[in-house]
Homo-oligomer: A and B are copies of this chain.
Amino acid sequence: MTALEESGRRAQAASRELARASTADKDAALRAGADLLVQRTDDVLAANQVDVARAVESGTTATVVDRLRLDAGRVEAMAAGLRQVAALADPVGEVVDGWTRPNGLRITRVRVPLGVIGIIYENRPNVTSDAAGLCLKSGNAAFLRGSSAAISSNIAIAAVLREGFAKAGLPEDSLVLVEDTSRESATRFMQLRGLIDCLVPRGGASLIAAILEHATVPYVIDGDGNCHVYVDAAADLDMALAIVVNAKTQRPSVCNAAESLLVHEAVAAEFLPRAAAALDGVSLVGDSTARALVAGMGEATDDDFATEFLDLKMSVAVVPSLDAAMDHIRRFGSGHTEAIVTGNLSAARRFTTEVDAAAVVVNASTRFTDGEQFGFGAEIGISTQKLHARGPMGLRELTTVKYVVEGDGQVRG
């Protein structure tokens, strides 16, 4: 057995205890982990300093170093996150549905933990704590494989949380961190079939590609968000302006930010110049009709329309109809979040019915597709796939179901 398999087996053994743990015990463990994290802030910061120093020395960009860097406030925020998860409802044990068959068999579908959740993630040491908290609350063991850049921080955080969980009487292997951060270890990690019940990758396109190529364990893809806002002919243009500005600029670096603006030709001449002024500081690239309406707008290629900029840049197209807008979204969208601004009921209805995405939004910003904004309290990611989980993944999406069938001697005729 390799060291990696041995780690997986420890997580699996812990997952069996966690599946039976009461909500009260899990919440106590989360709070114990949070308390210890704050208490050991100095240890965590010292370990983090090693990662930060190495990053700075190797010429890492300031943005990436900032993501990596912890301070007392960020450690406190991690602890607050754990306490917040402790306060959420426990999905385990929910009776999803149930019925009695004509032969008297009673069937219930009960929510149960998945088992071992594997997570491969990049930078941001807070994921270690956030992921461990969500997994534990949903009765799963967290089997974590972070990046080499954050390894020292991750080891320190994991050690503190493991100690905290154990203090509260839960297995310390509720959190198992893989310390080998080689690329080979990532590949072997995604092939631990029988040991990882669900893999949730948190990373960019190259990680997703590696998973599609190598993974043999079940996974949920947290993919790109090439999100559109379509301003319909019947839109309230003031509302549309506020929504477009919010969707594009409130936090451009995240997956639910808008990347592309589609405007119905009937309102383009009025709306686009206003939008361009309001989107001051955003680099706009557009089709020829849009460019004719906004001085200085660059030309958008198909590549631009297909790109998730994650930056203050936006592609713009003028469309002759709702159908053309939906065709554009079908061609370039990534199935994350698509919004329409309209006062027309039939347009809203067609858009929500016909556009194929995790979230379809009428008269609101794309930025709401988020576990917290949806009311889940926390999220492990946003699924852009259709199987198992679609959209923001909260605690419920970290569970599966089991059929419990109860009879009094029934046999099949």
Contact = CB atoms under 8 A, between A and B. Distances in A.
A199 to B, nearest CB: 10
A25 interface: no
| SS class, residues of chain A in contact with chain B | mixed
B243 A387 contact: no
Identical chains in the assembly = 2
A243 B245 CA distance: 66
Given A216-B212, A385-B218, A388-B387, A407 B360 contact: no
A405 B360 contact: yes
Given A360-B405, A369-B403, A403-B391, A386 B243 contact: no
A66 interface: no
Contacts of A250: 411-412
Nearest to A239: B409
A361 interface: yes
Q: How large is the interface on A (under 10, 10 to 19, 20 to 34, 35 or more residues)?
A: 35 or more
Interface stretch (A99-107, A141-149, A310-318): A99-107
Contacts of A374: 101, 107, 403
Interface stretch (A70-78, A154-162, A165-173, A350-358): A350-358
A395 B220 CA distance: 22
A409 B242 contact: yes
A348 B356 CA distance: 44
A411 B243 contact: yes
Contact of A407 (B16, B363, B412): B363
Interface of A: 16, 19-20, 99, 101, 105, 107, 112, 114-115, 193, 197-198, 212-213, 216, 218, 220, 236, 239, 242-243, 245-247, 250, 348, 352-354, 356-365, 367-369, 373-375, 385-388, 390-391, 400-412
Given A239-B409, A250-B411, 14 more contacts: A101-B373, A197-B386, A220-B387, A242-B411, A245-B411, A352-B404, A361-B407, A362-B404, A362-B406, A362-B407, A364-B409, A365-B410, A369-B403, A390-B402
13 contacts: A19-B356, A101-B373, A101-B375, A220-B387, A242-B411, A352-B404, A359-B403, A360-B404, A363-B408, A364-B406, A368-B412, A388-B388, A391-B403
